Amino acid sequence: MSAPVLEDHAAAGVVGTRMLRREDAALLSGEARFVHDVVVPGALHMAVVRSPYAHARIRSVDVSAALGMPGVVAAMTGADLAAEWASPMPCAWPVTADMQSPPHLPVALDEACYVGDAVAVVLAGSQAEAQDAAAAVVVDYEELPAAVDLEDAARDGVLAHLGAPSNRAYTWELAPDPEAVRRAFDDAAVTVKERYRQQRLIPAAMEPRGVCVVPQPFGGEYVVYSSTQIPHILRTMLGLTAGVPEERIRVIAPSVGGGFGSKLDVYAEELLCLALARRLRRPVRWSEERSEAAQATIHGRGQVQEIELAADADGRVQAVRVHLLADMGAYLQLVTPGVPILGAFLYHGTYDVPAYSFTCTGVFTNKTPTDAYRGAGRPEATYAIERAMDALARKLGMDPAELRRRNYIGADKFPYSSVAGLVFDSGEYEAALDEALGLVGYEALRQEQARRRSDGATKLLGVGLSSYVEMCGLAPSRVLASLHYVAGGWETATVRMLPTGKVQVVTGATPHGQGHVTSWSMIVADKLGVPPDDVEVLHSDTGVSPLGLDTYGSRSLSVGGTAIALAADRLVDKARLLAAYRLEAAPEDLELSDGQFAVRGSPSTSIGIGALAFEAFTAHDLPEGMEPNLEASATYDPTNFTFPFGTHIAVVEVDTETGRVDLVRYVGVDDCGNQINPLIVDGQVHGGIAQGVAQALYEEASYDERGNLLTTTFADYLVPAASELPSFTLGRTVTPSPSNPLGVKGVGEAGTIASTPAVVNAVVDALSHLGVEDLEMPVTPERVWRSVGAAAPVPGGAR
Amino acid sequence: MIPASFEYRRAGSVEDALGWLAEDPDSTKLLAGGHSLLPLMKLRLATPGVLVDVGRVPGLSYVRDAGDHVAIGALTRHRDLEISEVARAFVPLLAHVAGQVGDPQVRHRGTIGGSLAHGDPASDLPAAVLALDATMVADGPRGRREIAASDFFRGFLETALEPDEMLTEIRVRKAPSGWAFQKFNRRAQDWAIVGVAAVLDGDPRVALVNMGSTTVRARGTEEALAAGADAAEAADRASEGLEPSSDLHASAEYRRHLATVLVRRALVEAAAARG
Tell me what the mean pLDDT of segment A457-463 comes to.
97
pLDDT digits (tens, 9 = 90+) for A98-144: 999 999 999 999 999 999 999 999 999 999 999 999 999 999 999 99
**pLDDT of res. B274:** 82
- Band of residue B273 on the pLDDT scale cut at 50, 70, 90: confident
Sorted by where each begins, the domain ranges of chain B are 7-53, 63-173, 185-274
Residues A710 and A716: beta-carbon distance below 8 Å: yes
Tell me the nearest-neighbour CA distance from A690 into chain B, angstroms.
13
The CATH class of B185-274 is: alpha beta
pLDDT digits (tens, 9 = 90+) for A636-693: 999 999 999 999 999 999 999 999 999 999 999 999 999 999 999 999 999 999 999 9
**pLDDT of res. A9:** 37
**pLDDT of res. A794:** 67
pLDDT digits (tens, 9 = 90+) for A232-259: 999 999 999 999 999 999 999 999 999 9
Is A727 in the B-facing interface, judged by CB distances under 8 Å? no
Which residue on chain B is closest to A658 by alpha carbon? B258
Tell me the nearest-neighbour CA distance from B68 into chain A, angstroms.
38
Tell me what the mean pLDDT of segment B262-271 comes to.
97
Give A-chain residues touching B254 at CB under 8 angstroms.
Answer: 781-782, 785-786
**CA distance to A33, A126, A231, A680, per residue, from A542 (Å):** 18, 29, 7, 26
A698: nearest CB among B2, B186, B258: B186
**Chosen CATH of B63-173 out of 3.30.465.10, 3.30.70.360, 3.30.70.1290, 1.10.3720.10:** 3.30.465.10
Mapped onto helix, strand or coil, the DSSP state of residue A591 is strand
In a 10 Å sphere around its CB, with 0-12 CB exposed, 13-18 middle and 19+ buried, how is residue B157 labelled?
A: middle
Which residue on chain A is closest to B188 by alpha carbon? A723
**pLDDT of res. A80:** 98
DSSP conformation class of A43:
P
Tell me the nearest-neighbour CA distance from A57 into chain B, angstroms.
27
Tell me what the mean pLDDT of segment A183-211 comes to.
98
**pLDDT of res. A791:** 73
Tell me the nearest-neighbour CA distance from B185 into chain A, angstroms.
9
Contact at CB, A718 and B190, closer than 8 angstroms: yes
Contact at CB, A289 and B1, closer than 8 angstroms: yes
Contact at CB, B187 and A698, closer than 8 angstroms: yes
**Among A255, A247, A241, A254, which Cα is nearest to A333's?**
A241
Q: According to CATH, what is the number of the domain A490-636?
A: 3.30.365.10
pLDDT digits (tens, 9 = 90+) for B115-145: 999 999 999 999 999 999 999 999 999 999 9
A658: nearest CB among B2, B248, B258: B258
- Band of residue B1 on the pLDDT scale cut at 50, 70, 90: confident
Which residue on chain B is closest to A698 by alpha carbon? B186
Q: Which residues of B touch A (CB under 8 A)?
A: 1-2, 4-5, 43, 184, 186-191, 193, 248-251, 254, 257-258, 261-262
Question: What share of chain A in percent tops pLDDT 70?
Answer: 97
Tell me the nearest-neighbour CA distance from B39 into chain A, angstroms.
10
**CA distance to A583, A599, A614, per residue, from A603 (Å):** 12, 6, 21
Contact at CB, B190 and A289, closer than 8 angstroms: no
**pLDDT of res. A25:** 96
pLDDT at B201 exceeding the cut of 90: no
**pLDDT of res. A603:** 86
- Band of residue A10 on the pLDDT scale cut at 50, 70, 90: very low
> Which is it for strands A56-62 and A111-112: parallel, antiparallel or unpaired?
antiparallel
Which residue on chain A is closest to B248 by alpha carbon? A716
CA torsion, points A596, A601, A604, A609, in degrees to nearest 10? Answer: -10
Mean pLDDT, chain B, whole residue set: 96
Contact at CB, B250 and A702, closer than 8 angstroms: no
**pLDDT of res. A3:** 38
Tell me the nearest-neighbour CA distance from A46 into chain B, angstroms.
14
Give A-chain residues touching B188 at CB under 8 angstroms.
Answer: 721, 723-724
Give A-chain residues touching B41 at CB under 8 angstroms.
Answer: none
| Angle A509-A510-A516 from CA coordinates, rounded to 5° | 80
The CATH class of B7-53 is: alpha beta
pLDDT digits (tens, 9 = 90+) for B2-29: 999 999 999 999 999 999 999 999 999 9
Q: How many Cβ atoms are within 10 Å of A9's Cβ, its own excluded?
A: 11
**Among A50, A81, A51, A49, which Cα is nearest to A142's?**
A51
Sorted by where each begins, the domain ranges of chain A are 41-144+206-258+263-296, 490-636
Is A720 in the B-facing interface, judged by CB distances under 8 Å? yes
A716: nearest CB among B5, B248, B258: B248
**pLDDT of res. A795:** 59
The CA distance from A558 to A489, in Å, is: 11
pLDDT at A792 exceeding the cut of 90: no
A782: nearest CB among B4, B191, B250: B250
Contact at CB, B187 and A715, closer than 8 angstroms: no
- Band of residue B202 on the pLDDT scale cut at 50, 70, 90: confident
pLDDT digits (tens, 9 = 90+) for B34-84: 999 999 999 999 999 999 999 999 999 999 999 999 999 999 999 999 999
HEC secondary structure over chain B: CCCCCCEEEECCCHHHHHHHHHHCHHHEEEECCCCCHHHHHHCCCCCCCEEEECCCCCCCCCEEEECCEEEEECCCEHHHHHHCHHHHHHCHHHHHHHCCCCCHHHHHHCEHHHHHHHCCCCCHHHHHHHHCCCEEEEEECCEEEEEEHHHHEEECCEECCCCCCEEEEEEEECCCCCEEEEEECCCCCCCCCEEEEEECCCCCEEEEECCCCCCEECHHHHHHHHCCCCHHHHHHCCCCCCCCCCECCECHHHHHHHHHHHHHHHHHHHHHHHC
Please state the length of chain B: 275
**pLDDT of res. A12:** 66
**CA distance to A369, A705, A707, per residue, from A143 (Å):** 20, 14, 11
Q: According to CATH, what is the number of the domain A41-144+206-258+263-296?
A: 3.90.1170.50
Tell me what the mean pLDDT of segment A764-770 comes to.
97
**pLDDT of res. A2:** 39
Is A698 in the B-facing interface, judged by CB distances under 8 Å? yes
Question: What share of chain B in percent tops pLDDT 70?
Answer: 100
Least confident among A517-521, A598-602, A710-714, A793-797:
A793-797
In a 10 Å sphere around its CB, with 0-12 CB exposed, 13-18 middle and 19+ buried, how is residue A183 labelled?
A: middle
- Band of residue A798 on the pLDDT scale cut at 50, 70, 90: very low
Contact at CB, A131 and B248, closer than 8 angstroms: no
pLDDT at A4 exceeding the cut of 70: no
- Band of residue A1 on the pLDDT scale cut at 50, 70, 90: very low
B2: nearest CB among A131, A657, A724: A131
Give A-chain residues touching B184 at CB under 8 angstroms.
Answer: 658, 660, 781
Contact at CB, B184 and A660, closer than 8 angstroms: yes
